[in-house]
Structure 1
Amino acid sequence: MLSAYPGWLEQVERDSNFAGYEVEDNMPSFYRQMKQLLTYPMAWENTTGKSFGQWREEARNKLLECMQPAPPAAPYDMKVIDSEKRDGYVVQKIVFNLSEWYRVPAYLLVPDGKGPFPGVLLLHDHGAHFTIGKEKMVRPFHVSETIMKDADNWSVVCYDGQYVGDYLAKNGYVVLVVDALFWGERGRKEYARYDSQQALAANMLQMGMNWGSLIAWDDIRSAEFLASLPQVDKEKVGTMGFSMGAHRAWMTAAATDAVKAGAAVCWMNTTDSLMTLTNNQNKGGSAYSMLIPGIRNYMDYPHVASVACPKPMLFINGLKDKLFPVEGVKEAYRIMQGVWESQSVPDRFQTKLYDLPHFCSKDIQRDILEFFNKEFNYTHTGK
């Protein structure tokens, strides 16, 4: 009777060798095989028979396609609800429409004097710290003592005791900072738990939308809003961010030409380097805020960032940054450098590696100011 099942003995032997347990450190045991499928067919380096302009348009369209659906747009209808005069600039608390669905709070910093001025969309970090968002980048005002202490502490922990937005505004830049969904005034009424971001992301996916994509759409529209302001020279609009903010900065530079230049601190790598058994990325929770469904089937992180070419871009990482292995950083830089070189604008692509951990120091902030001043041909007179 057993002879009716050819190969039964071989099957028994295979089953007896079954190892079981196919998940290790939150990764499928076959993750190496999965990574081998990531050939990135839409990367510029893998493209033949097309001009760079054709590739750039198609690559951007694919990125935006993976980000669909977009929240419905609406007129901005900005209102100033509070303000504070500071040394050389004014900080305004504003609200405006990022979509038909939501009206958001933001800080808008405007230098003294006659504009238009160059502008920077500042994009706050993740930090697994959700009680503040825009307050990480701009010193808040007319807030509770708790928020004030929280913001001051965060400026020390991540930004060397200096609020980046205030620093740029004092040096002549209009600065816009908006809370991303789940941070600050766009967060939970209850205490924002770490695992709540996974629930938020899953709930949005259940309804056909992606959290990371929504953040990206909000950043695109924030950049377009900034460029539309009468105080801003629309030909001199940049993005800047640290950590998740850096990811947001180069994403926005790639996704819209309202952005003319970008600076990204401590968020660039390759999927091959990040998706390992030991990297922080495989914990999953925080990654949802930066995940674009399906994009890895077409392009890796540096390929997406390369859609920003030929714009001036500055990428900075730390040699001691445990979140972003330096080998992956260097490989990503190599890929992007090749794109800018292919378009005969290698000087518009700049990279720096600091002997620092995951941190945005005052020296780095000075580098970014000098980068924007040079690329925008701008000298602040203070008048």
Structure 2
Amino acid sequence: MNKGLMCLALATAMAAATATGAYAQKKKLQKRENYEFTFDLPRYVEELKTELTYPLAWGNSPIGDFGEWKKAARAKVLECMMTPPRRAASFDMKVVGEERRDGYTARKLMFNVNGYSRVTAYLLVPDGKGPFPAINALHDHGGHLYIGKEKMIRPFDVDSAVIKDADQWAANLYEGQYVGDYLARHGYVVFSIDAPMWGERGREEGVDRSKYDIIAGNMMMLGRDLSAFMTYDDMSSTDFLATLPEVDKDRIGCMGCSMGAYRAWMLSALSDKVRAGAAVCWMTTTDVQMSVKDKKREYGGFANCIPGLRQYLDYPHIASLACPKPMLFVNGTKDHLFPIDGVEKSFAIMHDVWKSQGADDKLATEIWQVPHSCGRAIQERVLRFFDSELKNGGGNTAR
């Protein structure tokens, strides 16, 4: 673990211990002798997991034609994502800022991502004659909602507190290198927006991680799903990216770390505009993710919660909807969020799907000796993957 990550982990642990201790002294929790939930899971969690048979997964489903299976499975995912946001009449893009950088230009845009939200985005455009291959850079969760797109692309024309926060985040999780700027220097248009609840799409009252779950619950009361809105926006922003004259619409990829990785394989599975995806440090199976015995549970709250979907498909089954597209998955042996047995199970499930379609050479699954992070070596691996699939004769893979 590098020094920055060690400091971050230590600071986080100390802050959590201090906060927990202070709260315990302030208010002792009331307890009853009998209880039904422990470690934020039901005591019968193992029984519930045995009842998850994933009947719509490829190989479990009675549908034998892969194209028909993809159509049915994708439709079920979208159904479970509940009612989508209303589409905007137009994207109505406006450039509101620009900055020259070494080998590329950074632009700040505003556009209508859906019928309710006009959002700010960063767009990096390489020097030279386009159109260029493009990457939708999807930011992480990290329990840190003050910044979003600024985790992926170095910000400008913002408050100094935002720049300082973004620089610190890049130092801790990305080894001091903004992955979006790194890709732009190597010839890619790079685009990034805030997910709902992050950055400029947060709460009027200020950042409070505990409010995410409350807001997600309120959205469900309105017949909508907050996590699904994030994915719908990622799909819409990719549609927008494909309209830009600087972008080769047949060579669009996406990438992210942590929640950004979840967003990357979800987007790859659901958008035909995406031709290749890279997901760093987010893949597991539900049986490993939820365990009182192993002290594992879902830490992201509602950030990847799609109601009812687990009755049909597990995470790797959903990611397999991207087959036969080129996909890169990287996970770490020192990643405390994703135990390696869950990662290996997921990778095996996905390889079975890609193999069934004669496309196993298009699926790269790698386990590195790293913690939950996307350092410079991994960023270089992501670049080589995209160079192979989107630059050097790539971009025409069947969808």
**Do the structures match in fold with TM over 0.5?**
yes
Q: Is the 8 A contact 1:281 1:287 kept in 2?
A: no
State the SS of the aligned residue for 2:75: helix
Indicate the residue corresponding to 2:127 in structure 1. 112
Displacement of 1:377 in angstroms is 3.2
Q: Is the 8 A contact 2:133 2:391 kept in 1?
A: no
Aligned counterpart in structure 1 of residue 264 of structure 2, from 238, 242, 249: 249
Mapped partners of 1:99, 1:194: distance in 2: 24
Mapped partners of 2:274, 2:307: distance in 1: 24
- With over 3 angstroms needed to count, the CA separation of the structure-2 counterparts of 1:280 and 1:83, relative to structure 1, is farther
Ranges in structure 1 where 5+ consecutive residues have no aligned partner:
1-18
State the SS of the aligned residue for 1:370: helix
Q: Is the 8 A contact 2:41 2:297 kept in 1?
A: no
State the SS of the aligned residue for 2:378: helix
- With over 3 angstroms needed to count, the CA separation of the structure-2 counterparts of 1:215 and 1:49, relative to structure 1, is closer
Mapped partners of 1:263, 1:306: distance in 2: 13
Ranges in structure 2 where 5+ consecutive residues have no aligned partner:
1-32, 394-399
Task: Give deviations 1:206-262, integer Å, cap 9, x for gaps.
Answer: 111110011110011111111121111111100100000000000000011110110
The reply on whether 1:281 has 2:297 as its aligned counterpart is yes
Superposition TM-score, scaled by structure 1 size: 0.92
Matching of residues 341-356 of structure 1 within 5 Å = 341-356=355-370
Aligned counterpart in structure 1 of residue 323 of structure 2, from 309, 333, 340: 309
Indicate the residue corresponding to 1:329 in structure 2. 343
| Farther off after superposition, 190-199 or 342-351 | 190-199
Aligned counterpart in structure 1 of residue 36 of structure 2, from 18, 22, 27: 22
* Alignment RMSD: 1.2
Query: Could you tell me which amino acid in structure 2 is paired with residue 116 of structure 1?
Result: P
Indicate the residue corresponding to 2:65 in structure 1. 51
Indicate the residue corresponding to 1:235 in structure 2. 250
**Aligned residue pairs: how many?**
359
Q: Is the 8 A contact 2:39 2:295 kept in 1?
A: no
Matching of residues 78-89 of structure 1 within 5 Å = 78-89=93-104
Displacement of 1:199 in angstroms is 1.2
Task: Give deviations 1:38-61, integer Å, cap 9, x for gaps.
Answer: 000000021235211110111111
Q: What fraction of aligned residue pairs are identical, expressed as a percent?
A: 50
Mapped partners of 2:166, 2:390: distance in 1: 30
Query: Could you tell me which amino acid in structure 1 is paired with residue 85 of structure 2?
Result: P
The reply on whether 1:159 has 2:174 as its aligned counterpart is yes
Task: Give deviations 1:320-375, integer Å, cap 9, x for gaps.
Answer: 00000000000000000000000001110001111011010100000000000101
Q: Is the 8 A contact 2:285 2:314 kept in 1?
A: yes
Displacement of 1:271 in angstroms is 0.3
The reply on whether 1:94 has 2:109 as its aligned counterpart is yes
Mapped partners of 1:121, 1:106: distance in 2: 11
Displacement of 1:188 in angstroms is 1.6
- With over 3 angstroms needed to count, the CA separation of the structure-2 counterparts of 1:126 and 1:334, relative to structure 1, is same
Mapped partners of 1:279, 1:24: distance in 2: 10
> Following TM superposition, where does structure 1 have runs of at least 4 consecutive aligned residues deviating by more than 4 angstroms?
none
Indicate the residue corresponding to 2:186 in structure 1. 171
Q: Is the 8 A contact 1:302 1:333 kept in 2?
A: yes
Superposition TM-score, scaled by structure 2 size: 0.88
- With over 3 angstroms needed to count, the CA separation of the structure-2 counterparts of 1:91 and 1:279, relative to structure 1, is farther
Mapped partners of 2:119, 2:296: distance in 1: 31
